[in-house]
Structure 1
């Protein structure tokens, strides 16, 4: 027993070694520690840290993303009614309708950087709970709107909440998750966004416009009620020297049998090393690994937004009509929204098995071919290069291409950029990096939302799809040559790989 005590004392002094021991199999641990059954059981308990509490915490945190998805999806099922003045007798033309959609992206873009600072000042959990304020104000303006200006302001403020959520939720998730399930939990952000959009499509189809808006306005309160009971991120607590708070959080998230002290010592080691090596964000950005991480995060957001997903969603009803299918545009939107949610869920199940790079590369590559076939079909149709009978025979092509595109986007390029952005940065850069990536993403979303129709009119919808195809091919090459695999790796391992 005295030898075991000496070994435990040594491990406490060297937490990195003990943390590494967790990754070895049971036989190797027994050889190093000895055959003493009590010591062996202690090590086995470390490996058997509970995962269910981490899933619960992640789901409740990303209900904020669900509420954000509802914000994004609100206009789609009721766009015709809004333009017809059916909502509180507010007159809205096509251009104003475009601004109602665009104000969400503008609000989101303006909030990412300030909220990154807020996350560092008051914590990830408190920042997420704070979202109830802009969500409530924004939806109140929309529910009781009596003018176009109130709709504009309401959409802008709910957009601020959505933008803040895309910074805080991935941060919180990446900091509470074990590395073995970090990819799965990291993909829940995008999954909840797609479920929120799907929810909006379904409710918008079957409820009146007023009932629909009130139901949408309730969703942030559901998030607040269930998330308020979750703990703060252990990493943030340790950054603020709140060791006991971090210990209690880890006990909640890992289970009572988990070796809490070992992980606390490991996190402390990471934080101390991070603070010693860089005293400011400017200093951190001088490192090769940090610069490369920024390039990767921003590039993935670029390829995500300019892949053509917004155009595919916008043209859903046209694609179904072109195929010869007589289908209600709202039903078509529900169909696509359901595909998105289901495919993103499948991605969350396999991302920690297949890895991030493989899903990103294959996602971009297949999407490139899907957009080529969509462009080809619209070239044949709009430029009248074939007869109507031949075009009718090819009616399956746009629908199949749409389905393949949505599935592959939702399995790779949709959720994974958010997960990777939470994995490749050191602690002192995480908030700043998440804010930068979120701002860039929403800026691109605004450009696509506001100016896509004008560009499509100038060059043609088929050419636009060809452009999207080129971007997807470039994205696949970028992921192959530049993006590292982060599956199952610690932040130190990822940083060393980025350093080359």
Structure 2
């Protein structure tokens, strides 16, 4: 007992007296980010599935036109099989945009698996081109939904320090899906291709069902206890979430007060300007011919008479696409949006122009191009690489930065739909256009679109690198930098 009484005196000289410490909130450690990474990966499995939809027609079309096919399709029918996906995607964004607010982010993501699962079952069972059309149209609902729902969920579950890298997982997942269909399709087995693609949405449900709902959504439904439980799982058991939970609650209340309508968007010059920038970027993204390249990769290589097999060339293109999606992460905030967009569109214009000239020599002028049969692969690899470094991912980044917060939901749905409607019109008319004027002319038109896109970026798109969202809104409104209260302008 005496020893216990003397202990406090002995602690007087200790360098770190424990009785004078003030308890501090638990710090987030590296291991606390693991749940956020797991939830992000789980949510993006359905994005991998959506990626297969984009590249499926590349290996599937030659199989369906082969004499051993269960049913054969013409070139004209193949253009509808490819383009109906984009038409379905145009109508997928708005309903899933409403669903994400009605039933929550988690149930909306689980629901994304339903259309694509139904479509793969139809494709496996059908022996009719009409049902193939329906399957592709239905699968487009998933494609249109993922570009709207997944970024919202990821943005709401991760902390700011890892939001950039984890948001970039979305583009990586898309490109994994594109490569997945190219690789499996290289085996040349139609049923195997469809079965392996069907496995992805099923896997997505089985894994994501264990993930939590986004805390911010739960707070909008006044479910503070549920939000606290979700946030605790995402941040780690030892982390004190009360401060962040209060911040999220204040954000949710502010968004509820300031939410704008469609009328607010159309009557606000600032919102209209941001909508023009966003819609212009995603439209030029498609007008550059990306979906045509993805849908008809093997067909393009077969027509070009490439020295390498068409399926292997497609796999190389998909591999480059995946690698370049990792490269964009570290340079996006260093180089800036405008620089990357300008370089991307100019390189795309040059590479697709050279490809067009190659087809001009081969198909119109009937020149021997055996000595340069490697050129189509180089052109498409360069085109895809430049696309992934700029005009591919950045229009969606710029959209999220320039659209005013109070109309971001309705404006985002319009931008998404315009993207896929443009894609539908382009991919559906590609075969007819090439039948009448030749492939070379189609690629020259794509090159012209990419050049116009560069001019659009130069004159209309602001630089948003390192600028707060409020400063971006001020610049779009024509207000100069300075004190936001207006007392000083620079």
Alignment partner for residue 416 of structure 2, among 433, 438, 442?
438
For 1:476, the equivalent position in structure 2 comes to 454
Question: Within 5 A, what are the aligned runs for 1:270-285?
Answer: 270-285=251-266
Residues 363-400 of structure 1, C-alpha deviations (whole Å, 9 max, x = no match):
11221222232233333444439x64xx5555554432
Note if contact 1:183-1:352 (Cα within 8 Å) is conserved in structure 2: no
CA contact (8 A) 1:187 1:418 kept: no
Which deviates more from structure 2 when the two are superposed, residues 460-469 or residues 317-326? 317-326
Query: What do the CA deviations read for 1:106-127 (whole angstroms, capped 9, x no partner)?
Result: 2222222111111111112210
Q: Of the candidates 124, 128, 132, which is equivalent to residue 151 of structure 1?
A: 132
Pairing 1:50-65 to 2, within 5 Å after superposition: 50-65=32-47
Aligned to 1:230: 211
Is the counterpart of residue 402 in structure 1 residue 377 in structure 2? no
Structure 2: distance between partners of 1:477 and 1:47: 45
Q: Which digits, 9 at most, give the CA deviation of each residue in 1:321-379, with x for residues without a partner?
A: 68774322111111111111221122234334444333223211221222232233333
Query: Which residue does the alignment assign to 2:147?
Result: 166
Q: Cα–Cα, structure 1 residues 249 and 490, in superposed 2: closer, same or farther, change >3 Å? A: farther
Q: How far is the alpha carbon of 1:217 from its aligned partner? A: 1.0
TM-fit CA distance, 1:495: 3.3
Report the CA distance between 1:132 and its aligned residue: 2.5
| Structure with larger Rg | 2
2:429 corresponds to which of 451, 455, 460: 451
Retained in 2: the 8 A contact 1:134–1:158? yes
Contact 2:76 2:431 in 1 (8 A): no
Aligned partner of 1:375 in structure 2 is 356
- Residues 123, 433 of structure 1: alpha-carbon distance in 2 compared, 3 angstrom cutoff: farther
Alpha carbons 1:239, 1:271 under 8 Å: kept: yes
Count of aligned residue pairs for this structure pair: 459
Q: How does 1:151-300 map to 2 (within 5 A)?
A: 151-206=132-187, 208-255=189-236, 260-300=241-281
Q: Flag the 1:289–1:228 CA change in 2: closer, same or farther, 3 A.
A: farther
Instruction: Say whether residues 1:78 and 2:60 are aligned partners.
Output: yes
SS at match of 2:88: helix
The root-mean-square deviation of aligned C-alpha atoms, in Å, is 3.1
| Alpha-carbon distance between aligned partners in 2 of 1:310 and 1:392, rounded to the nearest angstrom | 27
Tell me, yes or no, if the aligned pair for 1:323 and 1:399 is still in contact at 8 Å: no
Q: Structure 1 residue 97 and structure 2 residue 83: aligned?
A: no
What's the CA shift for 1:234? 2.9
Q: 1:338 aligns with which of 319, 333, 339?
A: 319
Q: Deviations over 1:216-235 (max 9, x none)?
A: 11110111122122222233
Alpha carbons of structure 1 residues 336 and 221: separation in structure 2 relative to 1, 3 Å: same
2:444 matches 1:466: yes
Which of 120, 128, 133 is the aligned partner of 2:109? 128
Aligned residue for 2:267, secondary structure, equals coil
Deviations 1:163-203 (A, max 9, x none): 22222112222333444443433332232122112111111
1:45 matched residue in structure 2:
27
CA shift in 2, pair 1:392/1:353, >3 Å: same
The CA deviation at 1:302 is 0.5
Q: Unaligned stretches of 5+ in structure 1?
A: 1-35
